[in-house]
Chain A
Amino acid sequence: MNDEKLKKLFELARAETAPVLPEGFDARMERALARERNAAPISLWDQIEALFPRVAMGAALVMALCLLGDFYFSAAHPAGLSGDVNEISEQWLLGANGQ
């Protein structure tokens, strides 16, 4: 299939007239809405679904901030074996002498 033929196919499909809506749709819809009004309040899942793009972006932002923070603090205070050993020794000595 070449580009020209695909373009022609799109043009033909674009000319398709919109289908006629099944009869009585509005009446069925109004009945469904009446049931909806009497039904339980909106579920938590529906609310999350409606907020989906914003929640996902918020979560991505929090993750990015955490990663940046971790990277920054790791760079500012590099972990060293001797420092850690000293810290543990001090804690152990203080604990052992009861001071």
Chain B
Amino acid sequence: MVNDDAELLERIRKGAPDEFGEIIRRHQAQVFAILHRYERDFQKAEDLAQETFIKAWRFLDRYDGRAPFHHWLSKIALRVALDHLRRQKRVRAEIALDELGEEALDWLRDPGGEGQLGAQQAAELLHAAMRELSPGDRQVITLLEIEGRSVREICELTGSSSAAVRVRAYRARARLKKALGGLEKLKHE
């Protein structure tokens, strides 16, 4: 059993392709967790995870080992997620209230947000509101506010400048507030 990713990758490069299965087992949870932030449908998220590993396999010779392997793999997963968001049609009216549940909507109506709201409901609520954002803005706000990554990390992962990340985050927050405000109003009507 090889503990180190680098050693395992070296073996794959030297002609042991079956060892990639071990790479999948090691990193599948991490990849799936990233993709689930952007696609909450399990089946679709699994398809995206599969796409991520296939891309990693195809371009394995481009991994130079300077950064940890999971970092490189995360970049591929984020790229796959971004392409997926771009493929999806952005329809404003798509936010279905029944998708969110009564509790989430009650929480939205409460001005101080003091009521009970579970983590999953909060994530669903944000996911619904994020449909109003562009794919790039959505990715930046997810990395920054939900995954809790630093601006520097986001720059490394997305290849954007620090200024671009900050601008996107500012714009995304404003649009999110507007979208969530719209949901509050819907509930009142």
Contacts and interface: CB of A to CB of B under 8 A. Distances in A.
Contacts, number: 106
Contact-size category for B: 35 or more
Contacts of A12: 117-119, 121-123
Contacts of B50: 28-29, 32
Interface of A: 1-6, 8-10, 12-19, 21-22, 25-26, 28-30, 32-33, 36-37, 42, 46, 50, 53
B42 A19 contact: yes
A1 B181 contact: yes
B123 A21 contact: no
Given A1-B184, A9-B125, A17 B119 contact: yes
Interface string B15-46: 00100110011001100110010000011011
Given A6-B180, A12-B119, A33-B54, A21 B17 contact: no
7 contacts: A1-B180, A9-B122, A25-B49, A33-B21, A33-B57, A36-B58, A42-B58
B123 A13 contact: yes
B32 A19 contact: yes
3 closest Cβ pairs, A-B complex: A12-B122, A18-B33, A16-B119
Contact of A21 (B32, B118, B176, B177): B32
Contacts of A15: 119, 122
A37 B24 contact: no
Contacts of A1: 108, 176-177, 180-181, 184
A5 B117 CA distance: 12
A18 B181 CA distance: 28
Contacts of B58: 36, 42, 46
B58 to A, nearest CB: 6
B25 A37 contact: no
B159 interface: yes
Contacts of B117: 9, 12
Given A14-B119, A26-B25, A29-B50, 16 more contacts: A5-B111, A6-B173, A9-B126, A12-B123, A13-B122, A13-B125, A16-B122, A16-B123, A18-B36, A25-B24, A25-B32, A28-B50, A29-B28, A29-B49, A32-B54, A33-B17
Contacts of B3: none
Contact of A33 (B53, B108, B146, B176): B53
Contacts of B123: 12-13, 16
B65 interface: no
A25 B28 contact: yes
Contacts of A36: 54, 57-58
Contacts of A18: 29, 32-33, 36
A16 B28 contact: no
